[in-house]
Amino acid sequence: MLERKKDVFFRRAKELGYESRAVFKLKYINSMFNILKNGSAVIELGCSPGGWSLYILEKIGKSGKLYAVDKVPLPIKHSYPQIEFIQVDILQSNFLDILSTKISSNLVDVILSDLAPNMTGKYELDYYRQIALVKVVLATIEKFLKPGGSAVVKIFEGPESQNFKKLLLSKFKFVHSIKPPASRKHSSEFYLVGLGYSGKTLLT
Within 8 A by CB and 6+ apart from 181, the residues are: 24, 28
Instruction: Look at residue 91 and give its three-state secondary structure.
Output: coil
Q: How far apart are the C-alpha atoms of 119 and 152, rounded to whole Å?
A: 21
Q: How far apart are the C-alpha atoms of 107 and 94, rounded to whole Å?
A: 18
**Annotation says 154 is catalytic:** yes
40, 82, 195, 202: which is closest to 137 by C-alpha?
202
- The one-character DSSP state at 66 is E
14, 18, 189, 36: which is closest to 112 by C-alpha?
36
Residue tagged active-site, from 27, 59, 77, 154: 154
What is the set of active-site residues? 154
